[in-house]
Amino acid sequence: MAISRRDFVKWGGIGFATAGAGELLLPAYAAPTEASGTLGAYAAVVQQDPPPVAPPPAQPANWTATEPNILGPYHRPRAPYRAKITPPLAAGTVLLIKGRVWGLDTRRPLAGVVIDIWQADSRGRYDNDDPQRPPVADVFVNRARLITDENGLYEYETIHPGAYQIGANTWRPPHIHYLVRHTGYRELITQLYFRGDPHQRTDPWIRESLTIALREERAGQTPYKTGTFDIILAAAPRR
């Protein structure tokens, strides 16, 4: 169906019409997305072996609630849900961070945990650290939200953040911010740090329990680093 330029502008050029502040509506010509088959039809053609039984997840060695850390001035709410924090081809060393969220009271993984992630770029800059150049309201750079799966797992790709100076002789070491929320548990605001960074010697907020080691891996000829950061949430007080 041909769309006039007027309708294109009306619908924002992306197939949606705005009905009010912040509300999106499908245009009148929209139709349901077509299906291309069913899993049952595929299974009838391909004989599949039963999936292997996964071993139980390894529990953290230290059963204490994850330490909180400062929120900092650069948090922005309502980042999009995605597993890649940085824009495509962002400068910096690629990181793959994964972990599992646990309940301190049950010692079991927690599914459906919402995790806000935000960080600086490789130069130590946030997308909202310049008051003269605020970010566009719906554009989030180096930010995302994640949801843990049925086994409490999360994973994301990003780049190694840079350090930045906050005083004459003080630098904030590279870190990644976490805001972790789940029904029935205390909200956790914390940060992830990386072992061996020299700026940690002068940082007043560094915590050893929040510091992880990174190991180098390769995808073909491309190097990247990986690390694991498990989180343990304390139960909220009962009312």
CA 70 – CA 205 distance, rounded (Å): 7
Q: Does residue 7 carry a pLDDT above 80?
A: no
CA 119 to chain centre: 10
Rounded Cα distance, 35 and 179, in Å? 37
Residue 239 CA to its chain's centroid (Å):
31
When pLDDT is averaged across residues 171-190 and rounded to a whole number, the result is 98
Q: Which amino acid is at 100?
A: R
Which 3 state secondary structure label does DSSP give 225? strand
pTM, to two decimals: 0.82
Assess contact for 114 and 181: CB atoms under 8 A. Answer: yes
pLDDT single digits (tens) 136-155 = 999 999 999 999 999 999 99
pLDDT at 11 over 80: no
Q: In this predicted model, which residue has the larger pLDDT, 1 or 84?
A: 84
Which sequence spans correspond to the domains of the chain? Answer: 5-45, 94-233
Per-residue pLDDT tens over the stretch 25-79 = 888 888 888 887 776 655 565 566 666 776 777 888 778 999 999 999 999 999 9
Cross-strand partners of 222 = 219
Ramachandran angles phi, psi of 114, nearest 5°: -95, 125
For the ranges 12-26, 29-43, 112-126, the one whose mean pLDDT is highest: 112-126
Q: What is the mean pLDDT of the chain?
A: 88
For the segment 145-167, the average pLDDT, to the nearest whole number, is 97
Structure letter (DSSP) for residue 235:
B
**Top-level class of domain 94-233:** mainly beta
The answer to whether the beta carbons of residues 59 and 122 sit under 8 Å apart is: no
Cα(58)–Cα(18) distance, integer angstroms = 48
pLDDT at 10 over 80: no
Among 2-6, 53-57, 62-66, 94-98, the range scoring the smallest mean pLDDT is: 2-6
β-pairing, 23-25 with 175-181?
unpaired
Residue 91 has pLDDT above 50, yes or no: yes
